Every structure is written in structure tokens, then in C-alpha cells.
Amino acid sequence: MVGYDTIFLYKHQDGIWSDHADEFHNRGFLFGDGLFETMVFTKSKIRFGSQHTERLAGGLSTLALEADGLSHINEIEVLLNEIWGDKKNLRIRWNIYRAGLGRYTPEDNRVLESLQIHTFHPAPKLKEIAYLSKTIQIQKTPWSHCKTLSALPYVMANQERKSKGFDEVILTSAEGYICEAGASNLFWVKNGHYFTPSLDSGCIAGVGRGEVLRYFKENNIPYSEGFYKMDDLLLADQILTSNVTGLSYLKSIEKKDFDTNRDGGLDAIFEL
């Protein structure tokens, strides 16, 4: 199995993981009815494992999914160690979706799960040119903070970004408030004070975002979560994006350049 670009492991109802799917047409595939966690496996452990578990528990509650039978992080760690040991850094996508088929009305609230496994690649240190999308918007919903399988806005935003030849896309709510980047949360700093959009803007509650906020609190670094417009972002000294793969600094937006000197303390959060 080692050496493929992508490997899928499915957990069957008997609790056995295998690389053969009994049910390809599931509610995750048909309706985007579920959640996922993107995680980093390094030194035999899932990095930020407790934070992923906490976010997933919140998502299960929000989508009325039952947690009974769901794998624990340590079970996934044991599985990955049996296959790869501690010699490889991996990017893991843990998919959790509602069991049963049905139509829009679910027949069951139990969960099924799969793992999608890639070689790990850290976030790029620098993203040269970003832009504000004027066509793709993020909608605030009771589950917009969750990492759901219904990710079409981000797919379309990154498709647009790629077609335009940019390195990053900035997304806003319908009201014009800054939400996040194409696959990352967004931070910026002005005169030593950091800013990030509130979850009430519609952005995802990223695990990397949470770790950055934890770092600010522990080190008494001033920060604010709130509602901000593009004009606020363009006043920044620095702009950076975060997800579990690391931090990227943005060099320019709308022909304005920003400082890209890195903060060693922030970088240390994501060191392997």
C-alpha cells in the first residue's frame, strides 16, 4: 500500500478497517451529509489530536449524528503506526458521514467513516498574490463553523483562484465581512495587535486557528475577533493564513505589499 499517492481505508460495521469499500454510494457521497477532519500524523501521533476530537464532537452534535461506534484518535494512531510506523509524516483526512441512504430525510443517525491518506506537505511559507473574490461568498449557517463534507463554496473559490492565476483567495460573507481564505483561516496584524474574523462571520473553526489564538492568550499578545471589511484588511502590516499544515504569509493584495518576515513563535506551533 505504501507508495500510492492516495490511500483510502474504510471502517466497516464490524469494526475492521480495509481498503475495499462495501458501500461507495453513501450519504457523504450523495448529500455531503457529514464531517471531516484534516489531520497531521507525525512521530507516531496525530498532532493536535485532542483539538480535533473536540471540534468533531461539536460537529456531531450540530448535525445530530451519533458518536457511538466512532473511532478514537488513538485507534487511528495505532492503525497508522501498524502500516507506516514513525518514519513517515502523513496528511490524514478523516471522513465521518451519516449511515443509511434514504433521501433528504435520514433513515439513521449512526456514523460510518473512512480515512484518506497522503504524504504530508507543509503549507507554503509565502503566497505571492491574493485577491478578493467578488463572486463566491460564505453563508453563515448553524453549521458553518463545522468542517462539513458540503464544501462546494471552497471548491468553486479555488477553481476561480486557479483560473485567474492567483496564489490565494479572500472570501467574504454576503454582507461583505471578511471570512477566511480558500482553505485556511485568516489573521492580520497592525501595530502588534492581531485580528481575525469572528466565527459568526461564517468562517470555519479551524484547529490551526484555535492553536494560534491559544498562543496569543498564553503569551499576552493582543488580538481581536470581530467583523471586518476589506478596507480593514488592507491597513494591515502583515497578513497570514493558518490551517493544520502551517502558516502562510501573503505578500500582496490589490497591488499593496505586506511585510512577510515570519514570527518564530507562531511558526513553532506547527513544527514537526
- The whole-number pLDDT of residue 7 equals 76
Q: Which of 103, 119, 135 is the last residue of a domain?
A: 119
Q: What is the mean pLDDT of residues 82-87?
A: 85
Q: Which of 65, 92, 119 is the last residue of a domain?
A: 119
If asked whether residues 44 and 175 sit together in one domain, one would say no
Q: What is the mean pLDDT of residues 217-225?
A: 98
If asked whether residues 168 and 238 sit together in one domain, one would say yes
Residue with cell 451529509: 33
Query: Which comes out higher in pLDDT, residue 102 or 267?
Result: 267
Q: Is residue 254 part of a domain?
A: yes
If asked whether residues 109 and 178 sit together in one domain, one would say no
If asked whether residues 102 and 234 sit together in one domain, one would say no
Q: Is residue 1 part of a domain?
A: no
pLDDT class of 2 with cuts at 50, 70, 90: very low
Q: What is the mean pLDDT of residues 228-240?
A: 97
pLDDT digits (tens, 9 = 90+) for 145-188: 999 999 999 999 999 999 999 999 999 999 999 999 999 999 99
Residue 195 region by backbone torsions, left for phi larger than 0, else alpha for psi between -120 and 50, else beta: beta
Listed in sequence order, the residues at least 6 apart from 172 whose beta carbon sits closer than 8 Å to its beta carbon are 132, 133, 137, 138, 178, 179, 230
Q: Which of 119, 144, 161 is the last residue of a domain?
A: 119
If asked whether residues 256 and 144 sit together in one domain, one would say yes
In the predicted structure, residue 90 carries a pLDDT above the cut 60: yes
pLDDT class of 70 with cuts at 50, 70, 90: very high
Give residue 236's domain range.
126-269
**Residue 209 corresponds to which amino acid?**
R
Domain with 73 in it: what CATH number? 3.30.470.10
Domain with 169 in it: what CATH number? 3.20.10.10
Q: What is the pTM of this model?
A: 0.91
- The whole-number pLDDT of residue 101 equals 83
Cα separation, 248 vs 246, whole angstroms = 7
Q: Is residue 2 part of a domain?
A: no
If asked whether residues 107 and 132 sit together in one domain, one would say no
In the predicted structure, residue 4 carries a pLDDT above the cut 60: no
